[in-house]
Amino acid sequence: MRKVAPGVIAALALVFAAPAEARTIQFAGINWTVKNGVGGPGPNNWSDSTQSVWVDAQGRLHLKIRQSGGVWYCSEVIAQQSFGYARYTTKISSNPELNDPNAVVGLFTYKNDNEEIDIELTKWGNSGDPTTGQFAVQPSVPNTTSRVRFATGLSGTNPPSTHHFSWQPDYIYYQSYRGHDTELAAPSDLMQEHTYVGSKIPPLSDATFRINFWMYQGRTPTAEMELIVDDVIIAPVVECTDSSECDDGLFCTGVETCVNNLCQTSAAPCTGPLQGCNEALDVCECNLEASVTADDLAWFSTCVGGPETSPTGPCLCADRDADGDADLRDYAALQAAYRAADTLFDFESGSQGWFAFGNGTLVSGVDAGGSSGQGRYHTADFDDPTMTYGFGDRSSNGVDLTAYSAMSIDARLTNPDPADPFIGTPQIEFMLSIGYLEWAKVFTLTDSYQTLAVNFADLVPQSSANQPVTAAQLGDPGMRIKLVMRKNSNTGKVRLEYDEVKAYP
C-alpha cells in the first residue's frame, strides 16, 4: 500500500479567480491565465499578446521579454487551479546563462509575499556572478537555508533542464538537473538539490503555480529574450522505502519507482496522437480509423523525417503504411485522413487575389517552388528603416468560411541572401481578419515546408477582437486570411513561402 504524505488528501483544488477579460491558454493539461497590465515583480509591463505568450505546434510554452512600440513587456502565466501539497516539475529548453543578467526566470507557487516557494534562474543584475540558479522560500535571507544559490553548468543555445520542488507540511525538497529525464539520470547532471525544514514553509492554501519571465527592478534589457517550457508536471507526493510500494501494476500509467523516499512516475507510454493503450497486452496501439484533427496534423508534421526516422513515442502512429518509417507517403495519408479538405487557394493560376503588404518588402509573387506545384513567396528586409511592425500577405475580402471549422497552410522561411542572413525568431501569425478585427495563432517555421493547421475555436482574439470568432463572422463579406511576420528584434533578409491554403468542415 502506498503511504500518502500528510495533507495530500486534504488538498482541495481551488479555482483562481481571473478577470473576465483575461486571456487564457491550455498547456501541459492545465488551464492558465496570461498576465496583463503593469505591476510587480519589477515593476514591469506585462503582455498577454500572442507575440509574448503562446503554445507551439509541439505543445511547448513560449514566454518572451519583448519590445513593442518602444515599450518593453514581460510575460507570466498563472495556473487557474491550486494544487496544494505536491511535487511541481518544470522542464525547459532555454539557457538562462545567455540571458541579460537582469532577466529572471521564475518557477514558483504564490499566495502572498510571505507564502511563496521559488526556483529562479537569474544573476540579479550581476553579470560576474558565477551562480545563476536559486532555491528560495520567502521571505528569504541570503546565505541561509531559505535561499540557496548554485551554478547551472548549462551551455549551448537550447540545453534541456529540469527543475522541481516538493511542497509538504514539514519540508520543501528542491532539485535542478541537466536533461529532461523523469529523474536525475547521472550524478554529473545534478546542478543542485536542497531540503528546507525551517519555519517559513507555507501552510496549505489556494496558492497557485506560476511561470514568469521578467526584468529585475524593471530594468531595460539589451535585447529580446525567449523562454521555452517543454512541460509542467504537478503530482501528489507519495512517500516510500521501496519501488514495490509505488508500483500500481499498470502498464498504461507509466513506470513507478522510489527515488529519495518519494514515489516518482514516468510519463505515460501512449500519449501521442491517435494512440491508445492496451492494458491487457501492455502495448501502445494506433487507432487508424480515428479522425485526424488539426492538432494531430501539426504534431505529425514534426515526425516526418525520411526513411531513417523510426516511428516511436509520440510519432508511433505516423507510420500509416506500416513500413517501419515515417516519411512523406505517411504524411500524405495523414492529410487524406484529416477531414476532407477544400482547397481555397493553390496558386496554380497565379496569386488568386493574395497580395503582399508592409514596408521593407523587396519582392513578392508566385513561382514553382511551392509545396505542391506553384506557390507564393514574399521577400522582405528587416533592416529597412521604414519597416514598422513587420510584413505580411493576405487574401482578398470575401473568403466564406461558414461551412468550415479549421484551416491550414503549407509554409516555410528561407534565406534569400547569404550575405545578409536572417537573424531572429522565425515565427508567423496565421490569422483571420475583418477590418481591424483579428484572430491568430503563432507558429514557428523552419526552412522546410510544414503544414500549419488550426481550429477556428483555437484562434486567439487580437487587439480590437475581444471574443472568439463567431459563426456569423466566418461568413462576413470582409473576411480574409492573413500571414504576418512581426519585426520584433529580427534583422537581415527573409523569404516567406507558402502554398495550399485549405479549409476543413
- The domain limits of the chain are 3-236, 275-338, 343-504
Q: Dihedral of CA 240/244/248/251: which sign? A: positive
pLDDT tens-place string over residues 54-69: 998 788 999 999 999 8
358 falls in which pLDDT band (50, 70, 90)?
very high
Return the ∠ at Cα 15 (arms to 162 and 197), rounded to 5°: 50
pTM of the predicted structure, to 2 decimals: 0.53
Kindly report the number of other CB atoms within 10 A of residue 211's CB atom: 23
Helix (H) or strand (E) holding 378: strand 375-381
Q: What local confidence, expressed as pLDDT, does residue 17 receive? A: 35
448: CB partners within 8 A, 6+ apart: 412
343-504 CATH pick, 2.60.120.260, 3.30.565.10, 3.40.50.720, 3.30.479.30: 2.60.120.260
Q: Which CATH number describes the domain made up of 3-236?
A: 2.60.120.200
Predicted confidence (pLDDT) per residue in 259-312, tens digit: 777 777 666 787 777 778 888 888 888 776 666 666 666 667 667 655 555 667
User: From CA 503, how far away is CA 408, in angstroms rounded?
Assistant: 6
C-alpha 208, offset from chain centre: 19
CA 408 vs. chain centroid, Å, equals 19
Q: Do domains 3-236 and 343-504 have the same CATH topology?
A: yes
